Amino acid sequence: MARLRALLENLPEAASIDTGSARAFAAAARSSLQLGRADDAVALGRAALTLEPGNARAWSVVGDALWAQGQVHEARAAYQTALNFDDKDLATALSCARAQLADGDAPAARALLSFVLLKSHSDELTQLAAELLDALP
């Protein structure tokens, strides 16, 4: 982990600033998260954001990694930023609603879950959104 952080500290000088590199870092972050390495996922996701601050997928994976670390408020902020750049990503919207609920903001979660239910064509997303909506106070 320390070696990864040291490499990433010099990222702007070491990597070409293009969207391909940002996508590669975001994909590596997602892979790290799937391997249970949330710290690495955060570092790689933030590296992607250094190259492309408007990369919604990178913001989303950073949110997922922060959520995995139990950093609810920070995860919520990352998800909301991701949605600012891509408001059609319903999986991120669902994750954001879950974080809003955990952060104590049931009204915001209700609105976002209703949006997901309205727009979703995925049975899985629809079911998850409905379950969260039913659990709201």
Do 54 and 116 lie in one domain? The reply is no
* 78, part of any domain: no
* 28, part of any domain: yes
* Domains of the chain: total: 2
Q: What is the pLDDT of residues 47-86, one digit of tens each?
A: 999 999 999 999 999 999 999 999 999 999 999 999 999 9
Q: What domain range is 60 assigned to?
A: 1-71
Do 60 and 8 lie in one domain? The reply is yes
Do 63 and 123 lie in one domain? The reply is no
Look up the pTM and report it. 0.85
Of 71, 99, 120, which one is at a domain's C-terminal end? 71
Q: Which pLDDT value is given to residue 20?
A: 76
Of 41, 71, 101, which one is at a domain's C-terminal end? 71
* CATH assignment of the domain containing 102: 1.20.58
More confident residue, 91 or 16: 91
Do 65 and 127 lie in one domain? The reply is no
Do 37 and 3 lie in one domain? The reply is yes
pLDDT at 134 over 60: yes
Q: How confident is the model at residue 21 (pLDDT cuts 50, 70, 90)?
A: confident
Whole-angstrom distance, CA of residue 111 vs CA of residue 91: 15
| Interval 6-10 mean pLDDT | 54
Three-class HEC string of the chain: CHHHHHHHHCHHHHCCCCHHHHHHHHHHHHHHHHCCCHHHHHHHHHHHHHHCCCCHHHHHHHHHHHHHCCCHHHHHHHHHHHHHHCCCCHHHHHHHHHHHHHCCCHHHHHHHHHHHHHHCCCHHHHHHHHHHHHHCC
Of 71, 95, 120, which one is at a domain's C-terminal end? 71
Q: Which pLDDT value is given to residue 72?
A: 97
| Interval 7-24 mean pLDDT | 62
